Amino acid sequence: DAGVIQSPRHEVTEMGQEVTLRCKPISGHDYLFWYRQTMMRGLELLIYFNNNVPIDDSGMPEDRFSAKMPNASFSTLKIQPSEPRDSAVYFCASRRTGGGQYFGPGTRLLVL
Amino acid sequence: AQSVAQPEDQVNVAEGNPLTVKCTYSVSGNPYLFWYVQYPNRGLQFLLKYITGDNLVKGSYGFEAEFNKSQTSFHLKKPSALVSDSALYFCAVRDEGRGFKTIFGAGTRLFVKA
């Protein structure tokens, strides 16, 4: 299995632009998570899905952030408009019920 | 509410010596406990988990963890540290009976000196 796949691996954009991060979970995993990691705040859970349905989005910072999971093999995290304080590494992770999470390599986002 | 604490920001150990990275947790129900490792510029990697059964859990790369219900702890251990074990280690807990969110600790940075 290829593991969790994220794209792009790196993104540099200017403040105000729209950013879309993509994730392909491991086949057969029924949970998908989006995290953000910074030096200041550590690892933060943004949102997670179960069977493609958003379960808890209480970690989403504000309305500029949105996430979708149109099917079991694809999810997006969108930031519109982006701000410099959104600069972070964004991780996608997936797991089966009862199992541990498997993380993707992350997308390193820099908003100038 | 569930929570997890890693009391040490950093652990230093000499290569060949045993290492311990500490973790304590709080959940209302039965805990699912996990350890993850993160190498520089990489995502977190799953090391091991405890759900039920034997209190000593063995995982990847020679790591093991001991579940102690009375002390609500789940310390990560390795009998003989390697320089390549130097990384950031995260403890995590999930109260499987109260939702599906996994709570991660703040992380402990392990330095192994040659």
Confidence label for B89 from pLDDT (cuts 50, 70 and 90): very high
Q: Which of B35, B31, B62, B32 is nearest to B47 (CA)?
A: B35
Query: Shortest Cα distance from B77 to chain A (angstroms)?
Result: 19
User: Which residues does residue A110 pair with via DSSP β-bridges, in sequence order?
Assistant: A12
CA dist B81 and B27 (Å) reads 31
**Local structure of B97: helix, strand or coil:** helix
Looking at residue A60, its pLDDT comes to 92
- Asked if B101's CB is within 8 angstroms of A98's CB, the reply is no
Confidence label for A51 from pLDDT (cuts 50, 70 and 90): very high
State the average pLDDT for chain B: 91
Q: What's the average model confidence in pLDDT over B75-81?
A: 97
Query: Shortest Cα distance from A79 to chain B (angstroms)?
Result: 21
Looking at residue B98, its pLDDT comes to 59
Question: Residue A69 pLDDT > 80, yes or no?
Answer: yes
Question: Residue B99 pLDDT > 80, yes or no?
Answer: no
Rounded percentage of chain B residues whose pLDDT exceeds 90: 73
Tokens of A1: 């299995």
